Amino acid sequence: MKPVIKNRIAFFNPQGFLDGNNAPFIIDSNDRRIIKQKNDLNAVLVSLKKVIFFNKNGLSIILDILQDIAKAKKNDIIIGFIDYDKHKFESMKKIFKKNSNFNLFENQEVASLLIGEVKEEDKKKRILVWNEDSEQKNILAVELIERGYSTTIAKDKGDFLAKKDNFDIAIENSYLGLYNQKIVAKIKDNIIIYILKDFIDSEFSNMFDIGYHYNLLRVGFKLFVFDMSSVSSVNIHGVNFLAKLATGGAEYDALFVIIGSNEHKMTQSFKETLEDAGILFYKDMETLLKDEETVKEAMKNSPTVQKNSQGITKEIVKNLPIFINSTITTIEVMSNIKAEKKAVNAKEMEIKGTDLNEYFAATLGIYGFFECKIILVFSKKLIEESCKILIDENEELTDALLLDTLGEFVNIIGGKTKAELAKKNIDINITLPRTYKDIKLLQEEQKGKKGIQIDFEFNKEPFYFYISNSY
């Protein structure tokens, strides 16, 4: 099937059924050879507009072919599917929930905006963005803004539906998989919340990302909540695994809590076993947060297990420009302020200024190909400027709101960093961001650790980028 090439994007347009029998012939060996030889393509996309039916086998075969093309192009090309309705979109997300290295664009117009050549006439169009996945919503908006388009983020689904007819383009069912992290938890006020579903049994331990959890502990998270509201039942294998997590977390002074459980999901003996392991039980999240003394005690600063402090490795130094550029470019795009580099030093982290109350910070743990910790310190004014598109204009700018928004913003930076490294075939994982209101606490935790610090200013507002080889 010959592709149609438009705006530096190659489109394949299959018809009818897309299953294991005909999928291998959608992009044949000759098409693959031609595409691999073309140097002016941004993307290869398969349209589902005329596809009546598809199944997992058919889509998987096509995705394997697309990934083979991307690999041959050294991952410097975007792959994915296009032209689908809401039902097909949800089906594809379920089929490919463990694969993030592809993209979904609801139509050619959206694809052209996000990955095609930027056209001056399109910059005049007003774009509204919404996605049920808040990370995707923010990443889509940042990409569009970075490409020069006038973009607004809907605050929720109702806001999107109410406003969409007043915009030239409304984007809802698109997905930039290249930027997607394997999110195994949600975060609220530096509390990690695992949403558990179905059966907590031996299979649960296979599904749980223990490496990700371990790095959340190492980066300094102290309070972990297992939400069992959607759990059907728990057996002894699940109980033993949860108890093992709690016992292992004790080394880091971490507290584990279970909410949403009852006698129908868990027997009294199972509950006692978990309580013996140090796990606390609360009815729901609201009840837990009302127990301010327990939450405060769990979240207080305490010694964390650290490996020996080491100098920055050669691999980290080699890729340091990617970390810095992803960070600074995102801030520049979101704030519309150019960065000015002030100083570069290899030293312990040092935040200048007498009033540290005017700063907030966030940290990200990086692991996989290499391991490091990134610390980003913003003045409050810079956070307001950088995150204004993420904040409803009617909301009061409290410290709590700024911290929550900073977490979202730093998550975007982490996603962009992961994507840029992936282009060099460097695979990393990134923890959820831990935010800091108390800069003195952060400095205390970093005492004695070696790293590289780069000081910037954005229109006189200070910003510090710090990277350390030690958690």
Question: Do 319 and 428 contact (CB within 8 A), yes or no?
Answer: no
Tell me the CATH number of domain 1-111, given options 3.40.50.20, 3.30.750.24, 3.40.50.970, 3.90.1150.10.
3.30.750.24
- What is the DSSP secondary structure assignment for residue 455, as one 8-state letter? E
Q: What is the model's pLDDT at position 302? A: 53
- What is the DSSP secondary structure assignment for residue 3, as one 8-state letter? P
Q: How far apart are CA 413 and CA 362, in angstroms?
A: 11
Question: Do 319 and 421 contact (CB within 8 A), yes or no?
Answer: yes
Q: What is the model's pLDDT at position 183? A: 40
Domain limits, the chain: 1-111, 186-299, 314-468
Q: What is the model's pLDDT at position 360? A: 95
Beta strands in 133-261 (DSSP E): 150-153, 169-171, 175-176, 186-188, 191-200, 223-234, 255-259
Residue whose structure tokens are 């935040």: 351
Question: Do 167 and 152 contact (CB within 8 A), yes or no?
Answer: yes
Give me the DSSP letters along 352-391: -SS-GGGEEEEEEEEEESS-EEEEEEEEHHHHHHHTGGGS
The yes-or-no answer to whether 1-111 and 314-468 have a common fold is no
At 408, is the secondary structure helix, strand, or coil?
helix
Q: What is the model's pLDDT at position 311? A: 61
Angle (CA) 383 385 387, round 5° = 60
Tell me the CATH number of domain 314-468, given options 3.40.1550.10, 1.10.10.10, 3.40.50.300, 3.30.590.20.
3.40.1550.10
Task: Classify domain 186-299 at the CATH class level.
Answer: alpha beta
pLDDT tens digits for range 383-409: 999 988 787 777 788 998 899 889 889
Q: What is the pTM of this model?
A: 0.73
At position 87, the amino acid (one-letter code) is H
Question: Do 193 and 223 contact (CB within 8 A), yes or no?
Answer: no
| Positions in the chain short of pLDDT 70 | 75, 98-100, 178-184, 301-311, 354, 470-471
Tokens of 49: 């507009």
